[in-house]
Amino acid sequence: MKFLSLVFSNLKRKKLRTVLTVLSIFVAFVLFGTLCIIKEAFTGGISMAGADRLMVMHKMSIIQSLPISYTDRIANLPGVAAITHLSWFGGYYKDPKNFLASFPVNPDTYFAMFPEFTVPPEQMAAWKAKRNGVIVGKGLFDRYAKSDGWKIGSVIPVNSPIWRREGDNETWEFEIVGVYDVTKKGADNTQFLFHYDYFDEGRTLSKGEIGWFSVRVKDPDRAPDIAAAIDKEFANSAYETKAQTEAAAMQGFASQVGDIGTILTAVLSAVFFTILLVAGNTMGQAVRERTEEIGVLKAMGFTNGLVLFLVLAESTVIALIGGLLGLTVAKLIALAGSPVPEMLPIFNFSDRDLITGLILVIVLGIIAGIIPALQAMRLQIAVALRR
């Protein structure tokens, strides 16, 4: 530690160069953070998936519905612990741009299936009692509380381009009775949940059908077997099913959006390669300029190892200043929230990515400094002083 002041005075020697290098590393890590956030936004569902949950949908595609009478047949299969169902409502508030992740659900079983969502007990009781009651996610609620004055007791008109009501009415009305919060960071807090019964009685088509089932299995290790058993139960019926783990379903959804992972990795690699070159080159220049001084240091008795350490410390300090600043700004971007909540509700810079970022900062510092550091270490005193 006693050589730290030496490292810092070296950094101060060409202030402009140090500042520019720090800034370019800063930019690299803001980018790194942003890409992590975007990747998480696209694939967030996968890491949030419950290991003991299956999704059961129509074999042809998710837009086909299943009869609600399947509920008991699935519940009675061995290894099944619980079951609930969801349907795609596709509603929007006032304008198609204000898309809502809206689902008619069974109020008795829905929240038991998804313990990552929590509702205050009195609100839960109010919801179960109110036929047209709706529980909304905190993220969604806060957004419209600000812009449209949503509060508990507000009646919200929702249009669904898919589901028309009897009497040719396109608008459904829901009363907000509760707000759910999430216990897992990054879980979806923008859902709009209401009674299936209210929905099923009101709609004109497909009565008695639901979108897909969510099934809890007793033993997560046996999930694939149970999925196969469910599919076998309904094979060759009018409504064949496809059961898969929640993670597999989310993975499938994410990979449909595109080869995001590949594209992001490619972009990231390009960025890092570039920044590495810039930082490494700057370090090299800084050491070359100081050949004589390093010679003097060595003549004074600084060991080769110490010289190596000093140069590496210098590049690591530069990387740390820029990298930490960059990661902080990325975290702030995540906290500011998603700019497209309708499309990507989850906006989170996860701790795992933050740690990866920190490791990358240190690796970048060491790799950028290693060549000039080795050069400095191998420099012979006589050669250095002769220059």
Partner 1 sequence: MNYLSQIFSIALFNLRTIPQRTGSSITAAIGIAGVVAVLVGVLSIAEGFKKAMTSAGSPDVAIVLRKGSTDEMSSGISREQTRIIADAPGIARNAAGPITSAELFVIISLPKISTGTDANVPMRGVEPGAFDVRGTIKLLQGRRIEPGKNEIMVGAGAASSFAGLELGKTLEIGQNKWEVVGIFSANGGLAESEIWTDAGVLQPAYKRGTTFQSVYARLASPGAFQQFSDAVTKDPQLEVKTERLSDFYASQSDMLSNFITTIGTFIAGMMALGALFGALNTMYGAISTRTREIATLRALGFGSGPVVISVLVESLALALIGGTLGAALAYIAFNGMQTSTMNWQTFSQVTFAFAVTPALLLQAIIWASILGLLGGLFPAIRAARLPIASALRET
**Binding residues vs partner 1 (CB under 8 A):** 16-17, 20-21, 23-24, 27-28, 30-31, 34-35, 38, 59-64, 90, 96, 159-162, 164, 170, 236, 240, 242, 251-252, 255-259, 263, 267, 270-271, 273-275, 277-278, 281-282, 284-285, 339-340, 343
CB of 132 to partner 1, least distance (A): 21
Closest CB to partner 1 among 2 and 97? 97
φ/ψ region of 337 (left if φ > 0, alpha if ψ in -120 to 50, else beta) reads left
- The DSSP 8-state label assigned to residue 187 in this structure reads S
CB of 314 to partner 1, least distance (A): 16
DSSP element (H, E) containing 243: strand 241-245
Closest CB to partner 1 among 177 and 230? 230
Closest CB to partner 1 among 13 and 128? 13
Q: How far is CA 176 from CA 12, 48, 120, 134, 212, in A?
A: 60, 26, 14, 5, 25
Q: 53 pairs with which residues across the strands?
A: 216
| CA 298/CA 69 separation, integer angstroms | 84
CB of 74 to partner 1, least distance (A): 20
CB of 16 to partner 1, least distance (A): 6
What are 203's two structure tokens? Answer: 């709609």
Closest CB to partner 1 among 271 and 366? 271
CB of 161 to partner 1, least distance (A): 4
Q: How far is CA 87 from CA 1, 62, 102, 134, 181, in A?
A: 62, 10, 9, 15, 21
| CA 242/CA 240 separation, integer angstroms | 7
Sign of CA dihedral 34, 100, 52, 124: positive
CB of 280 to partner 1, least distance (A): 8
| Residue 209 CB coordination number (10 Å) | 19
DSSP element (H, E) containing 70: helix 70-75
Closest CB to partner 1 among 182 and 223? 223
Closest CB to partner 1 among 38 and 385? 38
Residue 160 contacts residue 170 (beta carbons within 8 Å): yes
Closest CB to partner 1 among 24 and 47? 24
3-state SS of 251-299?
A: HHHHHHHCCHHHHHHHHHHHHHHHHHHHHHHHHHHHHHHCHHHHHHHHH
| CA 98/CA 275 separation, integer angstroms | 40
Closest CB to partner 1 among 179 and 283? 283
- The upper half-sphere exposure of residue 56, i.e. CA atoms within 13 Å in the direction of its Cβ, equals 33
CB of 328 to partner 1, least distance (A): 15
CA 293 to chain centre: 49
CB of 137 to partner 1, least distance (A): 19
What are 262's two structure tokens? Answer: 């590949």
Closest CB to partner 1 among 27 and 75? 27
Closest CB to partner 1 among 50 and 284? 284
CB of 284 to partner 1, least distance (A): 7
- The upper half-sphere exposure of residue 75, i.e. CA atoms within 13 Å in the direction of its Cβ, equals 10
CB of 269 to partner 1, least distance (A): 10
